Structure 1
Amino acid sequence: MNNQDEERSFSESQTHGAFHNHLTESVQPLIELIDSLRLIGIEKDMDLPSIAVVGDQSSGKSSVLEALSGVGLPRGSGIVTRCPLELKLRKFKKGPWSGTISYCGHKETFYDPSMVDNLVRKAQNDLAGNTVGISDELVTLEISSPDVCDLTLIDLPGITRVPVQGQPDDIADQIKNLIQKYISKSETIILVVVPCNVDITTTEALRMAQHADPDGYRTLAILTKPDLIDKGAEIDVLNIVQGRVVPLSKGYIIVRCRGQSDINNKIPLDEAIDMEMEFFRNHRYFSSLLNDNKASTLCLTKKLTKELVDHIKKSLPHLTEQINARILGAREELKKYDQGPPLEEEEMGPFLSEARAQRIKQITTIYP
């Protein structure tokens, strides 16, 4: 690496750190607020701001989530994500890496990032069986590390068209219905993952996003695998990123994550990030996208964090109105019932005696 590259790398590192330091104090309280509302079950009654990740099978969805989280997630052919996976990333300044996985009453904390793959697979097997079926039960994976951004995403099963051996004939419809349940909510940002080496207009993930969000106000698209496109197709990809093919108000970001050959060569995630930056810097057509903040995982991290925070801020007044309305309704409902038992232990005996006497009185009135 020459002096110019070293200076540029140092500048990018400083920018990355300054970005996180600037946003951490304002981002964490907002995301923690939404997480606390989700934890107490409010999401059953009202929609909460979230980011749902959708993509066709083999679109590069797992690679993108790996780059954002810094951990290896399950990979393979066919349906790998078989349950909705809520990925909570929490940044802290000091302390060891830690992870917590929870689902259906089970909760387990661990301190080895290499355990993520097996634990997620086990959770999916527990919920969806050891075959190739899916489940709509949510698995939550929380990762605390100084090397991640504050972000919460929900990874959904990859869209398939043809069932494989062992899958029900309607597996495609099951997956689409599950995805639709998440992306149809007006509070959800739709993160669509599309490979560069396919015709974007034919991808089912983008079609579903367009159906749920016709104006494209809630949809952000990620283009993956730019190193696999045919020579001569670079201009077509540039036109997509610039929004000239399928316009989206939140736009497009192109990334180059670890491919299977990188994994086979045991290239670590942090080195893959450096390789990605080098790829875009030296690319004849895509280097300009770095300056436009439309390329690299670092750019995606900034964009997602900003979009989620802005989405939460916009949603808070409506959420407050909904919560207040439900509290008022609950209070009115409570007025229909008699006073409940006292909280003080010494008053419980007299209360129960009085309640028993009242009940006997009611019975003798009915049956003298």
Structure 2
Amino acid sequence: MNGNTFETPGLKSMLAADSLSLVNVIDQLRSQGKSSVLEAISGIPFPTKDSLCTRFATELVLRRTREVHIGVSIVPSHDRTKEQCEQLGKFKELLQTFDDLPKLIDKAKEAMGLTTATSAFSNDVLRVEISGPGRPHLTIVDLPGLIHSENKLQTASDVELVQSMIRSYMAHKRTVILAVVSAKNDYANQIVLKLAKEADPKGLRALDIITKPDTLPEGSDSEDAFISLAKNEDVEFRLGWHVLKNRNYEMRYCSLVERDEAEAQFFNTGA
């Protein structure tokens, strides 16, 4: 599975619909490759800094048109005041190149008030609308990572806010759930799989993805465990498992073509 194709039969049938949303969900364990999954599917180079934590929902709206257009705006949450909604509604930017996207995301954080220590997450939505020839009619939603418990930086309210946001998106029947687990951590401890099964008990909407396969020591028990998982032998999902090797820090300046080539080489020579 690379940035230009969707080859799974289940996803093909769902993509035949006029409107579809992919929800990208993962446990909040740093550097798990969630934004890289979004990049691999859409072909859009999203920021993938190791220190970057998604703190609000980002809707990537793709549409097929004759002319190329890249627009960024903020959709205020329902708990905002009228004045706040008006102020956030003024946040509208046009991009000439995707290189400007990281700076715009930082500006959006500031507009949402996420630059202070007391504001960890927001219910506001950053909407990135991209249209042009060859684009699919598809919306991909990148959500904050699941938080297991509160700590010095994240309160109990933050834990509840993020889980409520994720459950809300996952509940929509026309949403495809991308449940992402990282090979860097024991998948038994990553509660995203439990939430995916709760939201989609029949397994009709959940696509499960393993990232960071290149971090597994060759011949190790952990490698064997994730190979079994990828074969749908341990935690079984109706649409099966998919494995992505995305760009790591050393490859951060590589093009998407180089990313796809490196991924293909890894799977051709791996376990």
Pairwise TM-score range, normalised by the shorter structure: 0.7 to 0.9
Residue of structure 2 equivalent to 1:242: 231
> Does 2:245 correspond to 1:256?
yes
Distance in 2, Cα, partners of 1:115 & 1:257:
21
Name which one, 1 or 2, has greater alpha-carbon Rg: 1
Residue of structure 2 equivalent to 1:107: 92
Deviation at 1:180, TM superposition (A): 1.0
Residue of structure 2 equivalent to 1:154: 141
Deviation at 1:148, TM superposition (A): 5.5
Residue of structure 1 equivalent to 2:129: 142
Q: What's the Cα RMSD here?
A: 2.9
1:93-114, Cα deviation, whole Å (9 max, x unpaired):
x76x541112242322211110
Distance in 2, Cα, partners of 1:139 & 1:128:
13
Change (3 A) 1:252 1:138: same
> Does 2:59 correspond to 1:86?
yes
> Does 2:48 correspond to 1:63?
no
Any unmatched runs of 5+ in structure 1?
Answer: 1-12, 20-26, 35-48, 286-368
Distance in 2, Cα, partners of 1:275 & 1:211:
35
Distance in 2, Cα, partners of 1:217 & 1:261:
37
Moved more, 115-124 or 74-83: 74-83
Relative contact order higher in (CA < 8 Å, ≥ 6 apart): 2
Distance in 1, Cα, partners of 2:151 & 2:132:
38
Distance in 1, Cα, partners of 2:238 & 2:186:
20
1:157-197, Cα deviation, whole Å (9 max, x unpaired):
01123445454343222211111111123332211111123
Distance in 2, Cα, partners of 1:78 & 1:262:
16
Deviation at 1:51, TM superposition (A): 1.8
> Does 2:115 correspond to 1:130?
yes
Q: Is the 8 A contact 1:68 1:148 kept in 2?
A: no
| 1:308-327 matched pairs, under 5 angstroms | none
1:183-233, Cα deviation, whole Å (9 max, x unpaired):
123332211111123222221211221222233222110111110012224
Distance in 2, Cα, partners of 1:188 & 1:161:
24
Q: Is the 8 A contact 1:54 1:193 kept in 2?
A: yes
Q: Is the 8 A contact 1:197 1:230 kept in 2?
A: no
> Does 2:166 correspond to 1:179?
yes
Give the paired residue count. 243
Change (3 A) 1:146 1:270: farther
Q: Is the 8 A contact 2:170 2:199 kept in 1?
A: yes
Q: SS of the counterpart of 2:140?
A: strand
Q: Is the 8 A contact 2:24 2:38 kept in 1?
A: no
Q: SS of the counterpart of 1:177?
A: helix
Deviation at 1:77, TM superposition (A): 5.4
Q: Is the 8 A contact 1:183 1:212 kept in 2?
A: yes
Q: Is the 8 A contact 2:149 2:159 kept in 1?
A: yes
Distance in 2, Cα, partners of 1:155 & 1:164:
23
Q: Is the 8 A contact 1:86 1:140 kept in 2?
A: yes
The structure richer in strand per residue is 2
Question: In structure 2, what residue type is equivalent to 1:157?
Answer: P
Residue of structure 2 equivalent to 1:319: none
Distance in 2, Cα, partners of 1:79 & 1:208:
24
Q: Is the 8 A contact 2:49 2:249 kept in 1?
A: no
Deviation at 1:91, TM superposition (A): 5.0
Q: Is the 8 A contact 1:83 1:128 kept in 2?
A: no
Q: Quick one: which of 282, 303, 317 aligns to 2:269?
A: 282
Distance in 1, Cα, partners of 2:231 & 2:225:
10
Change (3 A) 1:69 1:136: same
Identity of aligned residues (%): 30
Question: In structure 1, what residue type is equivalent to 2:106?
Answer: R
Residue of structure 1 equivalent to 2:81: none
Deviation at 1:147, TM superposition (A): 7.1
Distance in 1, Cα, partners of 2:242 & 2:113:
33
Deviation at 1:150, TM superposition (A): 4.3
The structure richer in helix per residue is 1
Distance in 1, Cα, partners of 2:137 & 2:103:
24
Residue of structure 2 equivalent to 1:53: 24
Q: Is the 8 A contact 1:98 1:112 kept in 2?
A: no
TM-score (norm 1): 0.59
Change (3 A) 1:201 1:147: farther
Distance in 2, Cα, partners of 1:261 & 1:147:
30
Q: SS of the counterpart of 1:275?
A: helix
Question: In structure 2, what residue type is equivalent to 1:124?
Answer: K
Any unmatched runs of 5+ in structure 2?
Answer: 8-14, 76-88
| 1:17-36 matched pairs, under 5 angstroms | 30-31=17-18, 34=19
Distance in 2, Cα, partners of 1:165 & 1:85:
25
Deviation at 1:66, TM superposition (A): 1.9
